Amino acid sequence: MLLLPNGLGVATSRALRKLASLTLAVLLPAGVALAATASDTQQIERGRYLARIANCAACHTSEGGKPFAGGLPIRTAVGTIHSTNITPDASSGIGAYSLSEFDRAVRHGVARDGKRIYPAMPYPSYARMRTEDVAALYAYLRAEVAPVTQRNPAPQMRWPFSMRSLLAVWNVLFLDDDPVRTDAARGAAWNRGAYLVQAVAHCGACHTPRGSLYAEKGLDERSRHFLAGASVEGWSATNLTGDQLTGLGAWSRADIAEFLRTGRNGHATSFGPMSTVISTATQYMNAADLDAVAAYLKSLPGARGEDKPFRHDPATAQQLRQGRFDLPGARQYAVFCMPCHGADGKGFARVFPPLAGNPTVADPDPASLVNLLLDGAVTARVGTAPADYHMPGYGWTLDDQELANVLTFIRGSWGNRAAPVQEADVAARRKALAAQRRTDAER
């Protein structure tokens, strides 16, 4: 009578121990899985943030198209390519890519099938990204982006640039995958800013001039060409170095951070491609990263040697207020521009930008100004402003000579000392924009 319960007790004890062991065997992997899931969530969140800073969606989404499905035409000096599909679709996107294959594409410009990627995709900048950041991008794109089956048009490149095999030689000559240089003496903000500017945000891809083989002339602050301004798709990407007139020399760190967050500050208002960058990318940067980028940019010496600050000259304002339109373009300025930008060219801060001392106005390349007057522009659409502002274009009512006169007047007034704009430059750009609109309409 006593042995039976004891026997049962032993058996039960053994059974419970076995059950407990089996339960632990089941629960332990579940616990590990839970930990991995939390880690994965953090990695995906990090990837989402990096994808925004890198502005992946802006380039890999066509107008009216599905996010990240590609198809956006990218016009270069040697032809047009279309951005690729980076959704996790297995047949036309990156769904079949392993992490190592994705890393090779992002940082070295080689697709899964071995095809070379044109460096319009800024892999020369991404080559310097940390492997863990590339892995975070991969995790985000595969976990949170909807797969889309979409194959995009083949590149239309001029010979010999149509020969992708030559890109292997180009990479040998120009691809630098060394980590972004650090400098402990400069502090954490500067080093973080260097990494963001040079690698993730790839600022040099637009703002650094390119050589005869279309490689950037400088990759970091050790080159006098780095971020010194360049021409991109008919726009002038401004000088981001410390020059007083055409660069950021007159801007504080806070000014730079405000511009990247809101698209406006006391010196300028965004327009053109930069409005898109701010709307889709930089407005989402956290405060620490915005300050880090600003700290790094403010450390760059001027590329053009402009060490004297802008000084406003009131003479033009006095003439305009007196109704004197002695100079060509003055009358058109008074009619079309003065209501917003004022007789003194100072505008209305954070709404209508000043023209006096504006780096874009002073830029040796007037391309962006020509685009603005021909077609108009819109400020960045951001969550920190109640509305975006549209500047109308005047190509419909002013001829090429009148537009050139207005721009020449602006670039030579209130203390601005930029070169005149030629009628032929306006005519050429008007023709190019018309051809571009026809091509877009036919797509």
Q: Is the pLDDT of residue 26 over 90?
A: no
- Tell me the CATH number at 389: 1.10.760.10
- Answer yes or no: is 133 within a domain: yes
First to last CA, the chain: 92
The helix or strand, by DSSP H or E, that contains position 76, with its residue range, turns out to be strand 73-76
| Mean residue pLDDT across the chain | 89
- Answer yes or no: is 324 within a domain: yes
- Answer yes or no: is 185 within a domain: no
Q: Which domain holds residue 333?
A: 315-442
Q: What is the pLDDT of residues 324-372, one digit of tens each?
A: 999 999 999 999 999 999 999 999 988 899 999 999 999 999 999 999 9
Q: Tell me if 312 is assigned to a ligand binding site.
A: no
State the total domains in the chain.
2
Q: Burial, 199: exposed, middle or buried (Cβ in 10 Å; 0-12, 13-18, 19+)? A: buried
- Answer yes or no: is 181 within a domain: no
Residue 443's pLDDT is what? 64
Q: Tell me if 56 is assigned to a ligand binding site.
A: yes
Q: Tell me if 60 is assigned to a ligand binding site.
A: yes
- Boundary (domain end) residue, out of 173, 201, 222: 173
Cα 241 to Cα 228: distance, rounded to the nearest angstrom:
6
- Answer yes or no: is 347 within a domain: yes
Q: What is the pLDDT of residues 187-206, one digit of tens each?
A: 999 999 999 999 999 999 99
- Boundary (domain end) residue, out of 143, 173, 203: 173
Output the six-digit token pair for 117. 């990627």
Q: Is the pLDDT of residue 10 over 50?
A: no
Q: Tell me if 267 is assigned to a ligand binding site.
A: no
Query: pLDDT tier at 36 (50, 70, 90 boundaries)?
Result: low
- Tell me the CATH number at 129: 1.10.760
CA angle 88, 53, 49 (to 5 degrees): 65
Q: Is the pLDDT of residue 32 over 60?
A: no
For 315-363, the DSSP string reads HHHHHHHTT---STTHHHIIIIIHHHH-TTS--BTTTB--STT-HHHH-
| Mean of pLDDT values over 289-294 | 98
Report whether 57 contacts 280 (CB < 8 A). Answer: yes
Q: Tell me if 203 is assigned to a ligand binding site.
A: yes
Q: What is the pLDDT of residues 228-287, one digit of tens each?
A: 999 988 999 999 999 999 999 999 999 999 999 999 999 999 999 999 999 999 999 999
List 80's β-bridge partners, or say none: 75, 156
This prediction's pTM: 0.88
Residue 203's pLDDT is what? 97
- Answer yes or no: is 179 within a domain: no
Residue 155's pLDDT is what? 87
Query: pLDDT tier at 388 (50, 70, 90 boundaries)?
Result: confident
Cα 280 to Cα 382: distance, rounded to the nearest angstrom:
9
Q: Read off the amino acid at residue 425.
A: D
3-state secondary structure of 38: helix
| Mean of pLDDT values over 216-237 | 95
- Answer yes or no: is 369 within a domain: yes
- Answer yes or no: is 214 within a domain: no
Cα 443 to Cα 63: distance, rounded to the nearest angstrom:
11
Q: Tell me if 337 is assigned to a ligand binding site.
A: yes
Residue 3's pLDDT is what? 32
Q: Is the pLDDT of residue 13 over 80?
A: no
Q: Is the pLDDT of residue 210 over 50?
A: yes
**How do beta strands 235-237 and 377-378 pair?**
unpaired
